[in-house]
């Protein structure tokens, strides 16, 4: 057993150094001076001038080797861990040394957790979810500067081809306001075929004590693309990695716009939402009965307002005026003010409890496979609008 554990530790270290790095990849790398000049989405406000925020953006065209301690990197833009003293949800154990930059991409890796040969930080509370053989080491980074509306944030990422979430998101320091730019369960193995075909775009409004969580739970939050059966396979692409661009325009405390590969796909505004489904824009609003959000077929009920061929903010405002229930924060956990706090940028891999409970968790084989266990980020960029 001791020999097996030693071998596992050695293999894990090797994975940290080489996971996801292929010198012969053909996907062209964006040059350092180019990320500010990549065209912004056509549907982004044309009446505004957009100023590139160099202090919050990163092309990852430098090197940062894995280290087994909490460290800032990228000229002080990032720390190789979460923004608080917490090491992840479900069976996740975020580790400092599962983060690196290889001169082309940010690499967020995953591996099998081993309590007897654990990397830093050391988990001191037993075993998560009582899964002694089911823990997941993973990487997480947090920006050292915060963002606040109005702001546009976009990343270009290649999700891990494994039954774990590859995430780009925003969170307030007190963990009460969250905006999910990309949440993608890439690998189609271990019964994950349904979730692997979608990119989840959403937000959470929290009360910490007692813990209470609201997020829109309509089916429109799960964005599919006709040419993608599993995002992990799509991004792995036989070894020639592909990248997907995901973005949010946090326009105001009650206005979020979501983009995938430069295309506007979903807008939440005040008391209504618009989602692009099969080429059509569906407008609607949430409803409540006796102070509780209505549910239909296991999903949050959205009352249909109209369907159009194109997106129209005027139409969305009409739907919002028809509604009496907020789509942003219907229970007013944020005091009815919407999203007003400064948020950190977070990029990570994680093993969420609801997937683990359903048996959707990666195998040892997948976790040991550098072709599957790594999320790559080509760049992340931030713009502020100026009138």
CB 157 within 8 A of CB 244: yes
Instruction: Name the residue among 185, 155, 337, 171 with its Cα closest to residue 248.
Output: 155
Distance CA 248, CA 155 (A): 10
List residues bridging with 247 in a β-sheet. Answer: 154, 259
Among candidate residues 63, 69, 118, 183, the one labeled active-site is: 183
Our measurement of the distance from residue 334's CA atom to the centroid of its chain's CA atoms, rounded to an integer in Å, reads 22
Closest CA to 136 of 191, 95, 169, 77: 95
Residue 178 designated active-site: yes
- Choose, from 63, 154, 178, 315, the residue flagged as catalytic: 178
Extract the tokens encoding 337.
């003010």
CA distance 258 to 327: 15
Which string of DSSP letters, residue by residue, matches 134-192? T-EEE-EEEEEEEE-SSEEEEEEEE--SSSSEEEEEEE-TTS-EEEEEEEEE----TT-
Q: How far is CA 68 from the centre of its chain?
A: 24
Asked about 183 being catalytic, the answer comes back as: yes
As given in the structure block, the two tokens for residue 262 are 């430069």
Residue 129: name the closest of 287, 356, 300 by CA: 356
Whether residue 99 contacts residue 72, with contact meaning beta carbons closer than 8 Å, is answered with no
Taking residue 201's Cβ as centre, other Cβ atoms within 10 Å add up to 28
The residues that are catalytic are 178, 183
């Amino acid at each position: 057993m001791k020999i097996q554990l030693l071998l596992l530790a050695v293999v894990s270290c090797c994975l940290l150094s080489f996971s996801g790095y292929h010198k012969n990849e053909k996907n062209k790398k964006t040059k350092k001076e180019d990320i500010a000049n990549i065209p912004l989405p056509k549907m982004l406000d044309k009446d505004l001038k957009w100023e590139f925020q160099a202090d919050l953006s990163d092309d990852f065209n430098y090197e940062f080797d894995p280290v087994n301690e909490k460290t800032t990197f990228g000229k002080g833009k990032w720390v190789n861990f979460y923004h608080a003293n917490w090491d992840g949800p479900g069976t996740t154990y975020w580790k400092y040394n599962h983060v690196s930059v290889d001169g082309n991409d940010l690499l967020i890796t995953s591996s099998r957790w081993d309590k007897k040969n654990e990397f830093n930080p050391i988990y001191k509370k037993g075993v998560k979810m009582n899964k002694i053989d089911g823990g997941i080491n993973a990487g997480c980074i947090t920006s050292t500067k915060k963002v606040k509306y109005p702001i546009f944030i976009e990343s270009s990422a290649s999700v891990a081809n494994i039954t774990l979430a590859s995430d780009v998101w925003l969170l307030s320091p007190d963990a009460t306001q969250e905006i999910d730019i990309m949440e993608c369960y890439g690998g189609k193995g271990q019964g994950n075929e349904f979730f692997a075909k979608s990119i989840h775009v959403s937000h959470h409004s929290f009360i910490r004590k007692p813990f209470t969580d609201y997020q829109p739970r309509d089916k429109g939050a799960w964005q599919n693309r006709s040419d993608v059966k599993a995002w992990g396979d799509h991004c792995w692409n036989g070894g020639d990695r592909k990248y997907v661009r995901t973005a949010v325009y946090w326009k105001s405390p009650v206005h979020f716009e979501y983009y995938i590969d430069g295309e506007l796909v979903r807008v939440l505004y005040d008391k209504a939402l618009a989602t692009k489904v099969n080429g059509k824009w569906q407008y609607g609003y949430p409803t409540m009965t006796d102070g509780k959000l209505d549910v239909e077929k296991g999903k949050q009920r959205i009352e249909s307002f109209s369907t159009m061929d194109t997106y129209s903010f005027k139409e969305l405002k009409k739907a919002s005026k028809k509604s009496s229930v907020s789509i942003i924060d219907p229970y007013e956990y944020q005091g009815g003010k919407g999203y007003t706090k400064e948020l950190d940028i977070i990029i990570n891999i994680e093993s969420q409890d609801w997937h683990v409970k359903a048996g959707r968790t990666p195998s040892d084989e997948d976790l040991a496979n550098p072709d599957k266990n790594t999320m790559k980020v080509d760049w992340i960029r931030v713009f502020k609008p100026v009138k």
